[in-house]
Amino acid sequence: MVNNPKERILVVESDPFQRDQISHHILEANGYPTQAVADVDSAITRVLQWAPDLMIINLNLSVLSGKDLIVALKAQGVEIPLVVMAAKGLENDVIQAFRLGAADYLMIPAREAEIISVVERVTRQISERRERERLSEELYQTNRQLQARIAEQNTLFAVGKAVTSITDQSLLFEKILESAARLTRADLGWLLLREDVKQPFYLAAQRALPASLAQYINQPWDDGVSSLVAMSGEALSIHGEALRRFKISSLGEAAQIVPVKVQKQVIGLLCVMRKKGQAFGETEKNLLDALSDYASISLVNARLFRAVEQRAQSLQAQVEQAQSGRQPGSDEQTFRLREDLAIWCETSRVALERLAKAPGGFLSEAQKKEMVILRNQFHQLGEMIDVLRFSRSDSAPAVKPLKK
């Protein structure tokens, strides 16, 4: 038995005895699925209908020759390995057949062993060619996947860099949405945020939403499905019939929503949709998770800087009030106020020191400079408080200055 009996063979031979002998008594007997025809027209029709893996063609056919068949197959773009048969004295025809693309040849009359040997040799070449094509396709797909992963990492790196360099949060959110759409091949998206878990979500940013919905920017908006994600705290991929229950189904056929969390509390929702196409998969979900983390970092940074600025303003106002209302021999309440201000100032200054030196790389150079300015301002504020505490001592006991 042959090693690979699955190759289908079409025999083209005008002599009925020779045709039956090769197709039935030799090839089929050795396990090859075989069909046989007598002329060129029948051969072309059978090739288009049956798609054989190998053809054995007698060059000396009636009406049109085997050479004409080879030319016709090439003209129609048919790429099938060919074995040609020719009687002795027609060696030049065999050479011309090789020039037209024949893979091997048999001289008539041919013994069974010769026919099987040639068929095995050619089918082995077919198997090797298919294996090369398979490996080439696998390599191509692997390269495509690698290029896609590199592009994804570059996109995530660019967003991470934007988090530390873009101070305008609206621009940053647009960058995050743009990256989300590109990474997930989505057609549209939006970002919902809220200041507190007890407050409703508002539309912080959008990409390609209809004008009737885009007008809700910076206003409360409920897309009908994100509230489920906010309650569960888990990402949601929804498509098809399940999505049609919600009003956003008019925007597309598949949606992916991931929560944006700060200290395990959902304070935002990153949403993308495809108008048509397959559902979002685990890879897209993981990419959106990474982008939601960047959004969370941005929100934490913004809250932190707002808190620092408000604290500095509050302390400055208290110092100015204390300076404007100071009288010789001030009472115990004024003394306590000055002491509290001194403690608050020193605590804030130390916190700023730790924040400026904290690892993680989430502060840009511009933000670090702002931190240095705030630290210096707290230092000056501490000196002003010390002036209040030790100039013209009042009835309260003296207190040693805090260490700078």
114 shares a domain with 44 = yes
Q: Which among 155, 13, 34, 149 has a CA at the least distance from the CA of 85?
A: 13
- Tell me the CATH number at 173: 3.30.450.40
| 272 vs 397: CA distance, rounded Å | 65
Q: How far is CA 371 from CA 74, 122, 274, 353, 366, in A?
A: 75, 76, 42, 8, 9
What single letter denotes the amino acid at residue 61?
L
177 shares a domain with 281 = yes
Tens digit of each residue's pLDDT (9 = 90 or more) over 98-154: 999 999 999 998 999 999 999 999 999 888 988 999 999 999 999 998 898 888 889
**Three-state SS at 268:** strand
Q: Is the dihedral of CA 121, 126, 130, 136 positive or negative?
A: positive
**Three-state SS at 83:** strand
Tens digit of each residue's pLDDT (9 = 90 or more) over 361-375: 556 666 666 677 777
201 shares a domain with 287 = yes
Where does residue 384 rank: exposed (0-12), middle (13-18), buried (19+ CB within 10 A)? middle
Q: Residue 43's domain spans which residues?
A: 9-132
290 shares a domain with 170 = yes
337 shares a domain with 293 = no
Tokens 């509050």 correspond to 314
* 377 domain residue, yes or no: yes
Identify the domain boundary among 78, 107, 132.
Answer: 132
271 shares a domain with 202 = yes
* 319 domain residue, yes or no: no
208 shares a domain with 281 = yes
* 364 domain residue, yes or no: yes
* 48 domain residue, yes or no: yes
* 313 domain residue, yes or no: no
284 shares a domain with 197 = yes
- Tell me the CATH number at 53: 3.40.50.2300
33 shares a domain with 97 = yes
Partner residues linked to 273 by β-bridges: 188, 255
**Three-state SS at 32:** coil
| 218 vs 395: CA distance, rounded Å | 54
Per-residue DSSP letters for 113-127?
Answer: HHHHHHHHHHHHHHH
Beta strand spans in 243-285 (E)? 254-262, 265-274
Identify the domain boundary among 132, 157, 175.
Answer: 132
Identify the domain boundary among 246, 278, 297.
Answer: 297
| 372 vs 239: CA distance, rounded Å | 50
Do the Cβ atoms of 102 and 70 come closer than 8 Å? yes
115 shares a domain with 190 = no
Q: How far is CA 83 from CA 53, 100, 260, 274, 307, in A?
A: 11, 12, 66, 52, 84
Q: How many domains does the chain have?
A: 3
Predicted local confidence at residue 228, as pLDDT: 87
277 shares a domain with 181 = yes
Pairing of strands 82-87, 104-108: parallel
* 149 domain residue, yes or no: no
* 403 domain residue, yes or no: no
293 shares a domain with 171 = yes
Mean pLDDT by 10 residues, the chain (404 residues): 67 94 94 94 94 94 90 91 92 92 92 94 90 92 89 87 81 91 93 90 93 91 88 92 90 94 91 90 92 88 78 77 58 64 68 60 63 71 67 46 43
Q: Which long-range contacts (CB under 8 A, 24 or more apart) does 193-197 make?
A: 193/260, 193/267, 193/268, 193/299, 194/267, 194/268, 195/267, 196/267, 197/265, 197/266, 197/267
Predicted local confidence at residue 329, as pLDDT: 47
* 235 domain residue, yes or no: yes
